[in-house]
Chain A
Amino acid sequence: MSEELSEHEAIPQAEYSEDGVDLTLIRWMLSLTPAERLQVLQRHVNAILELRRLNGG
């Protein structure tokens, strides 16, 4: 289930630390189990390697 943001609501913004780190991304990763974090990394690596292959790298 999801709810569409109403026209009058402010768009939720990511929260950054003073040194520019996206804290919402960290909180999302911390909400996952180690097994899920490993799956996220593996998917990222697979996607980047596939993009490299498609671009002849």
Chain B
Amino acid sequence: MADSDFLSALRTLREGGVEFVVVGGLAAVLNGAPINTYDLDIVPSRDEENVGRLLQVLGRIDGIYRLQPERRLRPGASHLRSPVHHNLTTTCGPLDVLGTIGRGLSYEDLMPHTTEMEISGGLLIRVLDLATIIALKEELSGEKDKAVLPILRRTLDEKQRAGE
């Protein structure tokens, strides 16, 4: 599997005109939480045109499912239009394309809970806010999610104290 290259993946998605929100561990880091993560989690708009653009980008970065890599399975448009999760590997590292997260929250549902951040010269991306990341992780029962919650909560406290 290729090593994670977050900036290349995000740049390629933006340059391809894909509309998406960054969620998960990377969103927490961009919000200031001192945690580690190896994969990029995104929730894309699932409208037909955006799915078409996403498919083109996935073709450029050789996006295939991480499970059964020997078969080199790739998602089609109908798969990306569904609300399920696609755990892919790409030339920019692991990429999880999530149709919805939490209790069925889509790109449109998440948009009011995002901020735009500049992550490289002029490169702007939509990132889920920390309060929503915490609320989503509180709904999940995984040990990994529970373990990181204290750090996320204290980061939010410190951000609010700093008036950020």
- The complex places the Cα of A29 from the Cα of B159 at a distance, in Å, of 10
Main secondary structure of the interface of A (DSSP, over half): helix
- The complex places the Cα of A28 from the Cα of B162 at a distance, in Å, of 12
Which partner residue on chain A sits nearest B115 by CB separation? A34
- Set A30, A32, A34, A46: member contacting B158, Cβ < 8 A: A30
Which partner residue on chain B sits nearest A28 by CB separation? B34
Which chain A residues in 22-57 approach chain B with CB under 8 Å? 22-23, 25-30, 32-35, 37-38, 40-42, 44-46, 48-49
Known: A26-B34, A44-B36. A21 touches B29 (CB 8 A): no
Instruction: Kindly count the residue-residue contacts between A and B in the assembled complex, taking CB atoms under 8 Å apart.
Output: 72
Cβ B150 vs Cβ A34 within 8 A:
no
- Set B29, B151, B154: member contacting A37, Cβ < 8 A: B29
Q: Kindly specify which of B2-10, B45-53, B62-70, B78-86 makes contact with the partner chain.
A: B2-10
Main secondary structure of the interface of B (DSSP, over half): mixed
Cβ A30 vs Cβ B155 within 8 A:
yes
Cβ A29 vs Cβ B34 within 8 A:
yes
- Spell out A's residues near B (CB within 8 Å): 17, 19-23, 25-30, 32-35, 37-38, 40-42, 44-46, 48-49
- Spell out B's residues near A (CB within 8 Å): 3-7, 26, 29-30, 32-34, 36-38, 117-120, 127, 150-151, 154-155, 158-159, 162, 164
Q: A17-B150, A42-B7 are in contact. List 13 more A-B contacts (CB 8 A).
A: A17-B154, A23-B154, A26-B32, A26-B151, A26-B154, A26-B155, A28-B34, A30-B32, A30-B158, A40-B29, A42-B6, A44-B36, A45-B3
A sample of 29 cross-chain residue pairs with beta-carbon separation below 8 angstroms, ordered by A number, consists of A19-B154, A22-B34, A23-B154, A26-B158, A27-B158, A29-B32, A29-B33, A29-B155, A30-B158, A32-B32, A34-B117, A34-B119, A34-B127, A35-B118, A35-B120, A37-B29, A37-B30, A38-B6, A38-B7, A38-B29, A38-B120, A41-B29, A41-B36, A41-B37, A42-B4, A42-B5, A45-B3, A45-B36, A49-B3
